[in-house]
Structures are given as C-alpha cells and as structure tokens.
A and B are shown apart, each in its own frame.
Chain A
Amino acid sequence: MIGAMRGLRIVACGIALATTAELTVGLLHVLEVIPSRERDWIPLAIYPFLALALLAPAVIGLLIALQLPCNRIAWILLLGSFVPSVQLSAEQLFGAGWSLQSERATIPLLFAWPVAVAFVFPNGRLLSRRWRWVAGAAVVSFGLTVAMKIFDPVAIEPPNQGIRNPVLGNHLGEVIENNGLWIPFAIGVLASLLAGVLAVALRFRRSAGIERLQMLWLVWAAMLTPLAIGYDVLAGFLLGGGGAISFMLLVAAEVALVAAIGIAVVRYRLYAIDRLVNRTLVYVTLSLLLVGAYAAVTLALGVVVASGSDWVVALATLVVAVAFRPLRSRVQDLVDRRFSRARYEGVRRVRDFEEEVREGRREPEAIVPVLAEALRDPLATLLFWLPASATYADESGALVAALPNDGRAQFEIEREGARTAVLVHDAGLLEKPDLLRNVLTAAGLSIEIARLRVEVRFQLAEVEASRARIVEAGYEERRRLERDLHDGAQQRLVSLGVQIRRLQRTLADEARILSPALDQIVGEVGAAIGDLRQIAAGVRPSRLDDGLAAALRDLANSSPLPVDVDARSGRVAASIEAAAYYVVCEALTNAVKHASASKAAVSAVRENGALLLTVSDDGIGGAVARRGAGLAGLKDRVAAHGGTLEIVSPSGEGTRINVAIPCDS
C-alpha cells in the first residue's frame, strides 16, 4: 500500500515535470532558440502568463498528490495542465501542420479539467449514481469532439495559410464536416459546462460543515472567472478589445480558482502547505538577505583590502554566520506576523505571560486563561495530571474524576515523554494544528510549573487532612480508653468493694475478727479506684466534658498561680478543645516551673472562624520552642489542626503564647 502511494507520488512528479519540460520547449520557441515555421506564435510578453496558467494546476495538483496521492482532484489538475501543454512541443514532434491542426482540435480540452473538478469536488466522488450518466456523456462529448476535429479537412486559417493541413480534404473529415456530425457533441461539451455549474450549485446548497467551507472557497474563486470574462466583453464593446489586460485577468482568475481548489482540498492538512509556504518565504528571504550581506561585505572590503584576499572571504563568511541566527528569527517573526497572524499572536501572548510570571506579576496557574486567549478558544481548559494519584486536577487543585466528554477535543501535553496535562479544546482547533502546537510548545514550561504547583498543593492538602485525621483518631481513641476505664475496670472495682462490704455486714459474730482486714481490703480497692481515675484523667481530661471554658476555669482553679480566665469561645470540635486545653495546661505548667511567674492570664475567644487562645504570664521570659520540648510539642499539636502557635517571650518581660486554630461554623 505504501509502495503504491510512493509510486503514485513519483508518477505525479513525472507529470508535473513533463508539463514543465513542455513549457521549457515553449519558452525556447518564444526566445527563438528553436526556430518555428508557425507565424503568430505566442509573444514574449504574454508567455509568462500562459506558463503560469498551465503551471498553476500542475503545481497545486502535485502538492495535493504528494500529500494525498489517491485524491482524484490532484490527478485532474495534473492531467488538466499536462494535456494542453503537449501542444507546445507538437511542432518538434509532428511538424508544423500537425501542430496547428491539433491546436485547433484540442481547444475544448482547456475546459475539460474545470468541468471534471466541478463534477467531483470536493470529495472526489460524483454527486449521485445518476450523475454517472452525465459524466459519461461529458467524456464522450469531449472525446468525440476532439477526435472529429482532428480530421477537420479545411485549410489552416491565416496567418499560417502557408502551412499545409496534413489531413486536408480527407474523406472521413469531409463526411463529418458536410453532415455536421460534430455538432451534437459540441453541444454536449457546452451542456457539460452547464452541468458542471449545476453540480457545484447543487453541492453548495446541500453542503454543511467542512464541505460547506470547501465549497465556499471554490465558489468564491469561480466567481472571478465570469468577472474576468465580463471585463473582456465590456472592453470589446468599449475599446474594441480587452487585449493583454483581459488575458491577464483571465489567467489570474484561473490561478485563483486552482489555488482555491488546492486550499479547499488539503484543508485538513492545511498546516503542512501553510508551513511549506511559511518556510519557503522565510528561507528565500533569508537567503537573499545573506547573499546581499555577503556581497556587500565583499565589495566594501574589496575597496579597502585587495579583492580576492582570503581575509575578505573569511570575514564575509563570518558576518553571514553570525547574522544567520538572529536574522532567521527576525525573518521568521516577520513572515509569521504577515502570514500566520493567529499563531504569531498566540505565541506572543504566551511569551508575554511568561515574562509576567518571571517578574512575579502573575501566578503560573494563570496559564489556563492565557492559553484560552492565545488559542482563541474561550472554553479551552487545562487539566493537570497528578501521577501520584493517577488523576487530573484543575488549576485550583480540585480533582477531576473524569475528562469531560462533551464533544470537545483533547490534546495530551507531554514533557520528556511524561504526561503533564490535557488540553480540552474546541474541535475546530484541530484544523489549526500549527497554532495549537506552537502555542503549547511556547507554554510548555509554564504548564509544567503550574502542574508542579498544583501537585504540591494537592499533596500538602492530602498530608494535612491525613494528619488531622490521625490526630482526631488519637483523641477518639483516648476518649474510648477513658470510657473503658471508667465503665469497665472502675465499675468492677466498685462492685467488688460493695460485695466485700455486704459480706462484712453479714459476718457471724465469731467472724467479726475479720472486719478490720476487710476494711483494709476495701480501702485498697478504693485506692485502686482513685488511681484508675487519675489514669483516666491523664488519658483525656474529663473536665472537657463541660466544654473548653469550664475546663479552663477548672484548670485555673487547680493551678498554684492566680490565673485570670476570660473564656468566651463557646463549643468547638472536641479535638480542637482538647488541643487548646493541652496548650493552656503546658503553658501554665511552664509559667510555674520555669518562668517564676506570679500570675497568669488565659483568654479564649472565637473570631473569624478561628479559636484564638492567649496565655500570658509575668515571668522571666526567654521561652523558646526547642525540639522535643513541651512547647515544640504544642506547636505540632496545634499545626495538626491547621493552626499556628506563636511564642512572644522577650527576656525579662514575661511570656505570651498566641494560638489560632481554625474552627468552622
């Protein structure tokens, strides 16, 4: 299959080359390098236009065939330019008589390719099965008209009347001519032209989407031809002939038509031809500039140094080598600005954004709206890939369970072979792959930075959430343990004591001697209960059952220091209350043990969704949160709830601990 494609491409190149060869022969004729016996040959001024008219379909046909070797329109264009061009070398091959005779006969073929294109544009197929009859009739009409005209027995018209018609007065030709046998087929040719117009009109009316756009291109270009013909007719009336201008306009219309066909057919791969044009322009301009620079340097230095010196060559080469890179980007810029506006501006937009990020004026995550703007797709969104959790997240870090499935296209962005993000964009952008690729390449670094930031934020949130869960679970476990101690072991001990007491009371008189021992046992049981209560209180202060404010007051009451308590926090989550309680506990212990304070104050208020806790004393100050020490432990405890702990303890001015713990509601 691939081999066949290659073969087709080679054949296409061959046809295009053959057309070029024919045009070269024609040029040699015009330049009178090859002598011609025909008079009224094409004048030198007209020849370039004729060459353009023949070359344009060949070039566009070749460009299409190279990309889509099976596209029928490519072959119609290639053959459409090659067949009429054969005429140019006919004199060399068959003599002047046959040349003039075939020229007369093949005039209809000039219209053959536009009709063929009109029948099958844009998908290479006829409109319907019924149109096969129309197409067949057209082929027969064109073929027979040309074939019959080859036998035209009439002498050649002036100014070539001196050249003999090689089939002058032949019998078959006489029969055809005398009976007008060619006339129906000539009418058939005209009918085919009308059918072509009808086919395009029908197709245009039925078309939608991409086909509609393709048809628009064709119809727009086809309109130029009647305009040119209209000018010719008008000029004929007013000026007695349109002359060279009419001819030029007709050629321009034809070239425009061919170009439009080319654009319409390779629309999907527009970027390829687009890039080809772009690169050609860039490198032709660049080459000219560099050659100019080389020449200028050589000339300028030639005046100073003896010309032909190795120095001159070396210096000129150096200039060219140094100028190449900056010049190339300049020219590329210029060409992009002229010919690929959207892409140029899109890339510019992204570069400006990167500059803003570098200067710290914008966050890297803002690349998402910038991309939407650069791609001119306001709904375009970027979803960042988080490899650790194998999910996508948007720029705010919110996880996206599944990629949107709303008919929009998705473009996977990779960096060094690893997926970084997916761009969800309008399917229309697929038709501008160059824009998409260039903008995304320019934005690559920003996207990666944004992705990393989203990932770090997401993971941090995960870690914080899990830490909070662990702390919460710890408190829950303590609470359960405390309850088990009270309701299990303690209950059992009490009931054991009660049983002993009952036993003691029912002792017979002679056993009364045991009573003091039983008293002692009950005493021990009581002590065990007391111990157990102490342990349970350490596990979780049951004071917190009545809320933080009450617990803080109890705490203050049991402190050897006078403690001023201002607790107006209301109820917050149990785990947060516990954290706050331990903070105050530790802070008051420090105030007594290390700070030699004479009094302390505790305040707990709720403000802006946070529990604000302050413990201050009038001690010696100088407290720091050393690793492993009580204060550092408090810091961790508070951080586990997403809060902050700040120690203000200037030497000699007392200590103040400020804690803020977020508590919702």
Chain B
Amino acid sequence: MTAIAAEPVTMARALNRALADALAADDRVLVFGEDVGTLGGVFRVTDGLAARFGEARVFDTPLAEAGIVGTAIGMAMNGLRPVVEMQFDAFAYPAFEQITSHLAKLHNRTRGRMELPVVVRIPYGGGIGGVEHHSDSSEAYFAHTPGLRVVTPGTPSDAYSLLRAAIECPDPVIFFEPKRLYWAKDASPLTTGTPLDTAVVRRAGSDVTLIAYGPTVPTALESAAAADVSVEVIDLRSLAPFDDATVCASVRRTGRAVVVHEAPAFLGYGAEVAARVTEQCFHYLHAPVARVTGFDIPYPPPMLEEHHLPNVDRILDAIERLQWDDTVVLPDA
C-alpha cells in the first residue's frame, strides 16, 4: 500500500484524485459521459480532468446512456480502458441492455479471448433532496448479473482505492457512488492495494453484526455507537462477488445479524445476504437475520424521503427485536 495523501478529503475529491491518478498512470484509460468534460460532472467528480488530460481522453458525450456504455464496450474490445459516468442511478437504465447482455457476458462468450475492462460509475441512492429519478438504489439489478463486479465505497479512502482497483481490474465493474457521501470527509490516507472483492470490519463488536454498504455505512456506525449492545459493523464494499468469509466469520462470533440498505426489501440485496448467512451460519444464529431497508415503494419525493430511508431509530429497533430474551416477536406486517 502506498500512502498518497493524508489531509481530509471529501469522497468526491477522492474519486477525482483516483480518476486523475489512473489517467496519469495508464494512457489507455479514458473518462467520458454526460457533462464530465467542461463542467467537471454534475457532482464535480471529474473536475479539472479534461483541462489536465485533454479532450481526447476526457470528454463529453451526447445524452445517450446506451451509447455511452455501448461505445465503451467497443473501445475496450480495441484495447482501451474506458471509465464512463451515468449521471444518476435512474438514468443508467437505458444502458441496461448494453451492460447486462454485452458488458457482463462478452468475456465468457469469447472464452476469455476478450477482456472488458470497463468501469461504469453510477452515483446512487437518496438523501440529497433529489426529485424523482435522482435517488434510486439500483444495485440489485446489476449484482444479479453474472460477470459484473459491483462495488460501492463507504468512505473517501475506500472510494479512492476501490476506484483505482476497479480501473485496473480486467472485469467490468459497476461502481456505485453513494451521492449523499460525496461531501463526507475522511482524513485516512488515500492508498492503492485494497482488493476489489473484500468486505471490511469498520467497528468491532461482539453481540450483533450490522451489515451495511455505501450510503448506509455511516448510519450503521452511528447506530452501533448508540446501541446498548456491542455491535460489529461490516462495510461490504463489494456487492458482487460477496465476501462470505468476512461476513460469516463475524456472524458466527456474534450470533445475530442485521442488513441495512436503502433499496426496497423485496428481492433486494439484503435478501441474498440473509439467505447466505442463514445457509452458512444457521447453527450460530440466535435470531433470524433482520433487514432494515427502504420500503417496497417507488422512491419518495424529497419532502418525504426521510420516512423511507433507514435511520438510526429503525436500525436500533431491529437490533432490539433480535430475540435477546427468547420471547416471540411478531414480524412487521
């Protein structure tokens, strides 16, 4: 691991630094998408890159997400390493076919003869007061697709190291950036060398494992600090592949688990986590794996989103209901 900076930086700044360092390190890396050039991205994640690296390597494209990903695939077929931006979560849907039918499959289809080192950056999640189509958590759609790696950082330093690793990875990576953490600061040094497929224990604890990722990591840590039991917090970082070893080692020690995410519960990422933990840790569990998630509703308008997003109270409530005293607790609804 090489330490690069130790002053506090925001996640947006850390991502910007990762893109700049990747562009500087490898001529094959390109950055393109809507508004990423002159403007520097609507969240300024690509700020200054076009000026520094030139319009040939960092450029604006037409407003066409399938076109952005489809052309990135063709560029990767010809040896380049495109990093493309989908401006917001829900605006990535036009690219869904290119991502799931081609980006995810070409390596397997060609028996490994073609590599698709494409990174699709998707700002995602709510909590920023966005109007409709600006706050979706669409990670399950992509994590469900074999061949894609799906990664999401929970801290600025992880944002740097995971994005660097994603750009160097021979597999296509869907890189979900939690919008509401773009301005979160972290004084940890920016380093490379973090593996792309491992979860990390953010806070050690002994009574219950709180499993979070991306935007819910700070919420989980806040909940752990407020809980009256000892809470271990895991930041998954990699949604696909799933780090069974780190999660199961923790749950086997604590005997209880709660998964937290913003996306709806039904067939959401937490369902897979609950199933995997149950399959692998059944005899260690004292209670069913609980989920604290967004509700099974279309993402709310901004003035109501606080009711939808998992918060400390709901997480603490879920922890309290983990059958600590063996009394039967009826599940919600």
The answer to whether A and B belong to the same complex is: no
Q: What is B's interface to A at a CB cutoff of 8 Å?
A: none
